[in-house]
């Protein structure tokens, strides 16, 4: 599998994570200077709240972008046996103002991959997601990986890619899948809008996708060539369920 990675974007996110964590720490620390001044109590609470939010955001981002392996590297490792002549993985490509973190170009079209790395029990019913667990332990996990709404993220990615395809006048099928990379996750899915799977099922999922004879090499090259305007590009070759759900097809 051929890999195209936007290293410039990764570097920016790492710097943002470090700066956010530092600013949050400084804000939290500054409140201790105010506890002995009663007239500054309300201001101290406001700074404490802001510092808590900024610090937790920074720690979340540090965990996502500074750890090794990152999510993109974990996905690459899972898919390393795919032939590079037919499969290209693009990480962190910008489509307008939207950065699509993981996009696989395959013989059947495009596959948007939304990844999550949190452990524990996760449930989804249609497009409603929930991370279950003791309420008090959630407080201590605020600086760790967050669930958010993977379905909403996937829909936003698809919309951004659709606009790009429309501009390029390309008719390419778009598929979507939500992948949980942590081996300690317990996933319970009830009629999800998009397939939600664990990491060990990602390769079988992709292998089950049918090719599209109308998706030519020229279409693929045209699509990929437009993604060359990146901050920094790393190109490499990775060496060696449920059926896919089509999101939408854009007519040329």
pLDDT in tens, 84-133: 889 999 999 999 899 999 999 999 999 999 999 999 999 999 999 999 86
Cα distance from N-terminal residue to C-terminal residue, the chain = 27
80's torsion region: left (phi>0), alpha (psi -120 to 50) or beta? alpha
Predicted local distance difference test score (pLDDT) of residue 54 = 93
User: Residue 241: is it exposed, middle or buried by C-beta count within 10 angstroms (0-12/13-18/19+)?
Assistant: middle
Confidence of residue 245 (pLDDT cuts 50, 70, 90): low
Interval 222-239 mean pLDDT: 66
Distance, CA of 104 to CA of 2 (rounded, Å):
10
Q: Which alpha helices (DSSP H) does the chain contain, by range?
A: 7-30, 41-65, 71-78, 135-140, 150-168, 202-207, 217-225
pLDDT above 90 coverage of the chain, percent: 56
Identify whether the C-beta of residue 1 lies closer than 8 Å to the C-beta of residue 84: yes
pTM of the complete model: 0.84
3-state secondary structure of 28: helix
pLDDT in tens, 195-215: 999 999 999 999 999 999 889
Which residues are registered as beta bridge partners of 94? 99
Per DSSP, what are the bridge partners of residue 111?
A: 104, 175
């Amino acid at each position: 599998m051929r890999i195209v990675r936007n290293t410039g974007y990764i570097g920016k996110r790492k710097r943002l994570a470090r700066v956010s964590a530092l600013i949050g720490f400084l804000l939290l620390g500054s409140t201790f200077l105010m506890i002995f001044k009663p007239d500054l109590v309300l201001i101290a609470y406001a700074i404490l709240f802001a510092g808590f939010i900024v610090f937790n955001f920074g720690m979340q981002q540090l965990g996502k972008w500074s750890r090794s392996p990152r999510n993109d590297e974990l996905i690459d490792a899972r898919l390393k046996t795919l032939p590079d002549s037919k499969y290209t993985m693009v990480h962190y490509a910008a489509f307008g103002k939207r950065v699509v973190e993981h996009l696989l170009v395959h013989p059947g079209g495009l596959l948007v991959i939304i990844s999550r790395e949190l452990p524990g029990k996760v449930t989804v019913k249609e497009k409603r997601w929930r991370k279950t667990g003791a309420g008090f332990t959630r407080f201590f996990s605020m600086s760790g990986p967050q669930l958010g709404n993977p379905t909403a993220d996937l829909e936003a990615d698809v919309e951004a890619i659709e606009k790009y395809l429309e501009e390029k006048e390309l008719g390419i099928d778009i598929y979507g899948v939500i992948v949980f990379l942590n081996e300690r996750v317990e996933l319970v899915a009830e009629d999800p809008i998009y397939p939600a799977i664990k990491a060990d099922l990602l390769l079988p999922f992709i292998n089950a996708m049918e090719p599209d004879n109308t998706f030519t090499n020229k279409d693929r090259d045209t699509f990929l060539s437009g993604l060359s305007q990146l901050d920094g590009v790393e190109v490499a070759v990775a060496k060696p369920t449920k059926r896919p759900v089509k999101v939408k097809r854009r007519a040329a």
